[in-house]
Amino acid sequence: MEVKDREDKDIRQPDLKSMNMEELRNWVIGAGQPAFRAKQIYQWFHVKLADGTEEMTNLPKSLREKMDEYGIYGVSVVTRLISEDDGTNKFLFRLHDGNVIESVLMKYKHGNSVCISSQVGCRMGCRFCASTIGGLVRNLTASEMLSQIYSIQKITGERVSNVVVMGTGEPLDNFDNVLRFLQLLSDPNGYGMSLRHVTVSTCGVVPKILELAEPRLGLTLSVSLHCPNDAGRSAIMPINRSYPIDVLLDACQTYFEKTGRRVTFEYAVMDQVNSAEQDAAALAERLKGLHAHVNLIPINPVKERNFHTLKKTVLQFQKTLERYGIPATIRRTLGSDIEAACGQLRRDAIQQT
């Protein structure tokens, strides 16, 4: 599979909520307004978390009208599901063009973590994932990624302390917008989240992993590995045909050397696919020397797909990995009573219409 940059026609880039302070200042001046308005607007968006211009009462009406005309992208809640098991919240949001996306709020002792989508749909084609079934519709703008976090904070009244870019979409296939999103999210004059509290997950778009290493951001990169050999990985993850495991792990090594941040590896355990004793041994062999940490995910069954796992298989896999010296944790399954697997709520919403 060839991964090319794509453009989203008809979407204003950047819209006002995706602009940094300097861009906003230029826009404000272009609109015939004094430069200090830029700071006010920026604060409305990223500190007071305003959804629209109606709230921005210290701005002249004419400016607010110009802003609406130019374009501000956000999200509005369609559905909120709350898990009775563990308090996980799942949100279905509508975008300005009618597309829907989903986000998840997970509550931990150390704080609230939000899992956001980075694209509408996905074109990576991983066999076990619900997000990819309808293909890619479009990239999300930086403002649409931020708005998922801002809305959840507003709805719950609780600060979001961690963000994982692990919802629908491949963040490194929407590289420029994701980078813009990270810069805005961590701006001390804006929302001000330290990137130490942010994880970006990728299926392995190697050139973009290398590009992401360059600005030396403090975020955690997580790589979805899911299989220790190329034949098996290519069968479940088409990206592996472009960037096989050796090339991917080399890029992870470079990422670690450049940023000083350890890469974590995701491994969704699937019976009959990647969960045998020799798979664990082969995985340990491949990860040797990488200071790797493995997150084991019990596969979340997707109704259109036929992958399953048993708890004892995951436990066994963890034991074997640790015997070979690779630390591994098992991801707690949260919100299984509310269809928390990637893309399931969105698929159900699409099928209903």
Residues near ligand SAH, by CB under 6 A: 124, 126, 128-129, 166, 170, 201-203, 224, 266, 268, 297, 299-300, 302, 341-342
Name residues whose C-beta falls within 8 Å of residue 283's C-beta, 6 or more positions apart in sequence.
Answer: 225, 228, 267, 294, 321, 326
**Whole-angstrom distance, CA of residue 293 vs CA of residue 109:** 22
Min dist. Cβ of residue 315 to ligand SAH (A): 16
342 given a catalytic annotation: yes
**Whole-angstrom distance, CA of residue 333 vs CA of residue 331:** 6
Sign of CA dihedral 83, 89, 90, 95: positive
Catalytic residue among 2, 102, 115, 339: 102
Both tokens assigned to 295? 């997150």
Min dist. Cβ of residue 186 to ligand SAH (A): 20
170 given a catalytic annotation: no
Min dist. Cβ of residue 150 to ligand SAH (A): 21
Place of tokens 């400016």: 63
Chain Cα centroid distance, residue 229:
26
As separate numbers, helices (DSSP H) first and strands (DSSP E) second, the chain gives: 12, 12
Q: Which residues pair with 163 in a beta bridge?
A: 114, 198
Q: For ligand SAH, which is the closer residue by CB, 45 or 267?
A: 267
- 130: which DSSP letter? G
Min dist. Cβ of residue 275 to ligand SAH (A): 13
Q: For ligand SAH, which is the closer residue by CB, 15 or 266?
A: 266
Min dist. Cβ of residue 346 to ligand SAH (A): 13
Catalytic residue among 126, 203, 227, 342: 342
Q: For ligand SAH, which is the closer residue by CB, 147 or 309?
A: 309
Q: For ligand SAH, which is the closer residue by CB, 141 or 300?
A: 300
Q: For ligand SAH, which is the closer residue by CB, 53 or 202?
A: 202
Instruction: Tell me the CA distances in angstroms from 212 to 120, 170, 220, one per residue in order.
Output: 22, 14, 11
Place of tokens 């909120």: 80
Place of tokens 């692990």: 166
The reply to whether omega before 238 is within 30° of 0 (cis) is no
Which residues are catalytic, by number?
102, 342
